[in-house]
């Protein structure tokens, strides 16, 4: 259910709202986007058809805007035909871009008022906290800069460009060090078990990349993955993770035919035709069954270039490789599009699972996603299980697989082998 459009009389209030949003995001633990939006064409409508018609159009656009947003998004009308949208809990800027695309399409659909069929356009500027700016003032500046760049390029929207910023020394040194680490195979994979909720036994593992930089210590995977994406290192990094994950899981698959390994694929490689061949070749080298490999791809990655993704995913799926939509529920994909994707698993984002025992809304979302997935013949995995209660609740809701700190944290391969033989969830799988 979309929330309510609020009014935002001045800049001081916007600064307050941004301060609150920064606090809610855990001061950078989560990304959020600031979108500045201007509805174009309203001046002409007011001038030619009168302010009353203009007001009706504005109301209609406001309704459509709200329908494009998630319940957690905040939308404000400032002055005239200007709007501000705050999009919290982002995986990346791509997700907010999807929201803008939706809004822009909604504006373009004609509005029928007093026998006139009117069409509108929007211009929007997007900036992401903390990626583009770490304080409200600067964030507004970034979004405004993006907005004027969209205007001058006659585009519906622009994202604040990082290219205009010189890379900081620490990013440059991380890049150089990461390249060396990939070359030397210094990226380690940790594995987090997934259990089948019916049998209460391990069904497989998700591989998660880990890197300890000599200069900076442990670097968070989402950080170094993004550095790899931006510096062209993502393909060699993916090559490394695919091969290590297949080789190590092959050892475990010897113990159980059901055992599968999941690998995360980033948007940047999903649109690279080479990646398909690379994965098929790796399967051939290590001798894993394609059905024992799952590729986890986020909803937003699949939506970046839907046509290319569809082609590559269809080719991988036709080999028998499992495709899972990661972080499901955080994106903006429409049901009609989902139906066309060659996927066989949905992975409910942990943001819904973590609080499902306290938050009735989250529990409802989890249950709806499970039912939705089953209606589409898809298996469902829930991630972020941190206690027995949510594990039980998910089993009751008919969820198929579960993963989370309560079952086990991601661990090095050697520890995984020990865990599999000592945990009550692992013993029978191996026996
Ligand atoms: P993801 O694919 O959504 O991975 C799940 C993340 O949730 C992991 O964080 C995992 O440690 C964490 N997690 C699992 N269970 C729980 C739980 O019960 N509670 C909480 N609070 N968190 C839990 P991690 O390892 O830091 O990975 C972060 C992200 O980095 C991943 O999100 C994924 O998008 C990316 N990533 C990690 N490894 C790779 C990789 O090899 N390739 C690519 N492309 N991306 C990767
Ligand atoms: Ca994942
Ligand atoms: Ca996830």
Distance 388 CA to ligand 3 centre (A): 20
Answer yes or no: is pLDDT of 429 > 60: no
CB-based pocket (< 6 A), ligand 1: 192, 208-209, 220-222, 225, 241, 264-266, 296, 326-327, 350, 383-386, 403-405, 410
Quick check: 127 and 133 in contact, CB under 8 A?
Answer: yes
Q: Strand 201-213 relative to strand 188-196: parallel, antiparallel, unpaired? A: antiparallel
> Of 383, 385, 409, 416, which is best to mutate to test ligand 1, by the most ligand atoms within 8 angstroms of its C-beta?
383
Computed on alpha carbons and rounded to an integer, the radius of gyration of the chain in Å comes to 23
Specify the ligand 1 atom closest to the Cα of 208. Answer: 38
The pair of three-digit structure tokens given for residue 96, joined into one six-digit string: 């907010």
- 188, 147: one domain: no
- 214, 113: one domain: no
Residue 384 belongs to domain with CATH number: 3.20.20.450
> pLDDT tens digit string along 55-74?
899 999 999 999 999 889 99
3-class DSSP state of 306: helix
pLDDT band at 306, cuts 50/70/90? confident
Does residue 208 form part of some domain?
yes
- φ, ψ of residue 166 to 5 degrees: the values are -70, 140
- If you average pLDDT over every residue of the chain, what do you get? 88
Residues 129-164: b if buried by 16+ CB within 10 A, e if exposed: bbbbbeebeebbebbebbbebbeeeeebbbbbeeee
Answer yes or no: is pLDDT of 304 > 80: no
Instruction: Show the DSSP H helices in 354-412 as ranges.
Output: 360-375, 388-396
* Separation of alpha carbons 102 and 220, rounded Å: 31
- 53, 184: one domain: no
Does residue 111 form part of some domain?
yes
**pLDDT the model gives residue 34:** 96
- 208, 78: one domain: no
Taking residues 238-251, report their average pLDDT.
Answer: 94
Does residue 165 form part of some domain?
no
Does residue 377 form part of some domain?
yes
- Beta strands (DSSP E) in 151-221 are 157-159, 188-196, 201-213, 217-219
- Beta strands (DSSP E) in 171-307 are 188-196, 201-213, 217-219, 260-264, 293-298
Does residue 166 form part of some domain?
no
> Of 211, 221, 294, 382, which is best to mutate to test ligand 1, by the most ligand atoms within 8 angstroms of its C-beta?
221
Distance 266 CA to ligand 2 centre (A): 10
> pLDDT tens digit string along 388-403?
999 999 999 999 999 9
> Of 193, 206, 264, 394, which is best to mutate to test ligand 1, by the most ligand atoms within 8 angstroms of its C-beta?
264
**pLDDT the model gives residue 148:** 80
The pair of three-digit structure tokens given for residue 200, joined into one six-digit string: 């209460």
Bridge partners, residue 32, by sequence: 129
Answer yes or no: is pLDDT of 248 > 60: yes
- 113, 148: one domain: yes
- 150, 221: one domain: no
Specify the ligand 1 atom closest to the Cα of 405. Answer: 18
Distance 160 CA to ligand 3 centre (A): 26
Does residue 77 form part of some domain?
yes
**pLDDT the model gives residue 142:** 83
Residue 83, domain extent: 6-160
**Among 130, 160, 190, residue at a domain's last position:** 160
Does residue 167 form part of some domain?
no
- 109, 188: one domain: no
- 242, 156: one domain: no
Handedness of CA 208, 72, 337, 380 (dihedral sign): positive
Answer yes or no: is pLDDT of 281 > 90: yes
* Separation of alpha carbons 200 and 424, rounded Å: 9
**Among 160, 184, 204, residue at a domain's last position:** 160
> pLDDT tens digit string along 111-133?
888 788 888 889 999 999 998 88
Distance 208 CA to ligand 1 centre (A): 6
Specify the ligand 1 atom closest to the Cα of 385. Answer: 18
**pLDDT the model gives residue 370:** 96
- 250, 156: one domain: no
* Separation of alpha carbons 310 and 305, rounded Å: 9
Of the candidate ranges 49-58, 144-153, 217-226, the one whose mean pLDDT is the lowest: 144-153
**Among 112, 132, 160, residue at a domain's last position:** 160
Q: Strand 116-118 relative to strand 345-348: parallel, antiparallel, unpaired? A: unpaired
Residues 6+ apart with CB under 8 A from 176: none
- 195, 99: one domain: no
- 65, 190: one domain: no
> pLDDT tens digit string along 317-376?
999 999 999 988 876 666 667 778 899 999 999 999 999 999 999 999 999 999 999 998
Total domains present in the chain = 2
CA separation (Å) from 322 to 261, 295, 335? 10, 6, 20
Distance 362 CA to ligand 1 centre (A): 20
* Separation of alpha carbons 111 and 108, rounded Å: 9
Quick check: 381 and 353 in contact, CB under 8 A?
Answer: no
**Which of 215, 221, 234 minimizes the C-alpha distance to 274?**
234
Specify the ligand 1 atom closest to the Cα of 327. Answer: 3
Does residue 116 form part of some domain?
yes
- 156, 176: one domain: no
Residue 26 belongs to domain with CATH number: 3.30.70.270
Quick check: 181 and 237 in contact, CB under 8 A?
Answer: no
């Amino acid at each position: 259910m979309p929330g309510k459009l609020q009014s935002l009389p001045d800049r001081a209030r916007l600064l307050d709202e941004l301060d609150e949003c920064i606090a809610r995001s855990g001061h950078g633990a989560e990304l959020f986007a600031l979108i500045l939006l201007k509805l174009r064409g309203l001046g002409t409508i007011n001038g030619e058809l009168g302010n009353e018609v203009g007001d009706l159009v504005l109301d209609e656009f406001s309704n459509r805007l709200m329908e494009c947003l998630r319940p957690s998004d905040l939308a404000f009308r400032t002055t005239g035909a200007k709007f501000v949208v705050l999009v919290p809990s982002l995986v990346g800027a791509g997700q907010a871009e999807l929201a803008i695309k939706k809004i822009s399409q909604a504006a373009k659909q004609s509005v029928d008022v007093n026998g006139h069929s009117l069409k509108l356009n929007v211009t929007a500027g997007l900036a992401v906290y903390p990626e583009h700016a770490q304080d409200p003032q600067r964030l507004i500046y970034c979004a405004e800069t993006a907005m004027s760049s969209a205007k001058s390029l006659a585009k519906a929207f622009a994202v604040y460009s990082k290219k205009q910023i010189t890379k900081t020394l620490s990013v440059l040194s991380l890049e150089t060090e990461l390249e060396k680490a990939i070359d030397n195979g210094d990226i380690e994979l940790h594995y987090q078990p997934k259990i089948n909720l019916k049998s209460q036994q391990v069904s497989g593992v998700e591989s998660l990349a880990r890197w300890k930089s000599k200069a900076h210590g442990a670097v968070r995977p989402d950080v170094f993955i993004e550095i790899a994406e931006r510096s062209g290192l993502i393909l060699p990094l993916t090559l490394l993770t695919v091969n290590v994950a297949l080789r190590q899981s092959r050892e475990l698959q010897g113990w159980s035919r059901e055992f599968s390994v999941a690998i995360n694929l980033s948007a940047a490689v999903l649109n690279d035709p080479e990646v398909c061949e690379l994965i098929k070749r790796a399967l051939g080298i290590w001798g894993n069954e394609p059905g024992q490999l799952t590729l986890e791809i986020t909803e937003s990655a699949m939506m970046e270039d839907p046509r290319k993704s569809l082609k590559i995913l269809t080719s991988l799926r036709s080999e028998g490789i499992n495709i899972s939509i990661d972080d499901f529920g955080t994106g903006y994909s429409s049901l009609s599009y989902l139906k066309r994707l060659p996927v066989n698993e949905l992975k409910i984002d942990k943001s819904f699972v973590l609080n499902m025992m306290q938050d009735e809304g989250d529990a409802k979302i989890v249950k709806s996603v499970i039912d939705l997935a089953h209606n589409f013949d898809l298996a469902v995995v829930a991630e972020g299980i941190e206690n027995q209660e949510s594990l039980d609740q998910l089993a009751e809701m008919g969820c198929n697989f579960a993963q989370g700190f309560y079952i086990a944290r991601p661990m090095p391969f050697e520890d995984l082998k020990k865990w599999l033989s000592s945990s009550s969830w692992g013993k029978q799988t191996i026996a």
